[in-house]
Every structure is written in C-alpha cells, then in structure tokens.
C-alpha cells in the first residue's frame, strides 16, 4: 500500500522536499504519516493537513492510495 505526500510553501522549504511516497502496511493517522517521514522535525503548531484535497484533523485516517498534504496557514486573497 502506498500514499503520496505533498508539502507546500515555507514548509516545503524547511523540509527541503516537495513531496514523498510512503509505503504502509496498515492505515495510519495523518500525524503518524508526518512522524514516519519527518522523524527529526517537531510538528509545527500551525500545521494544516489535507487528505484527498479536503482539510482534516491530524488524527484523521490515511489509507492506501490517499493523497496527503501538509502546509502552513493559507495567505491568499
């Protein structure tokens, strides 16, 4: 099972990658996805997350084939 992960804006710069692919054996939560991919980086207080382009909480479940995105507060308009 695999999931795609994207990072945006200042978070992408901090992490130094625009995305990751993660192979998982069982469903994870969003926060577990973060911890697997960025074990040495604390979760930013203002972190926002989306699964399949919908906002979710960090405890949301992530399943095979899902697209996960992590990003800082939005600043459009």
Partner 1 sequence: MMTIKLSAEIFDPWQELVDFQAQAVDMAGKYGATGVFVGTMRDFNQGDEVRGMYLEHYPGMTEKQLQRVVEQAQGQWQLLDVLLIHRIGQILPNDTLVLVAVWSAHRGDAFDASRFIMENLKSQAPFWKRETLESGQIRWVEKNSDGYSK
Site string for partner 1, 4-43 (x = CB under 8 A): --x-xxx--x------------------------------
Q: Return d(Cα 49, Cα 15) in angstroms, integer.
A: 15
Q: How far apart are CA 15 and CA 4, in angstroms?
A: 16
Q: CA–CA separation, 66 vs 5, rounded Å?
A: 9
Cβ proximity to partner 1, 18 vs 63, nearer residue: 18
| Interacting residues with partner 1 (CB under 8 A) | 6, 8-10, 13, 46, 50, 53-55, 69, 71-77
């Amino acid at each position: 099972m695999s999931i795609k992960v994207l990072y945006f804006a200042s978070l992408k710069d901090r992490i130094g990658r625009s995305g990751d692919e993660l192979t998982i054996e069982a469903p994870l939560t969003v926060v577990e996805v973060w911890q697997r991919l960025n074990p040495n980086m604390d979760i930013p207080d203002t972190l926002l997350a989306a699964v399949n382009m919908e906002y979710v909480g960090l405890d949301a479940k992530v399943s095979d084939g899902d697209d996960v995105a992590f990003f800082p507060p939005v600043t459009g308009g």
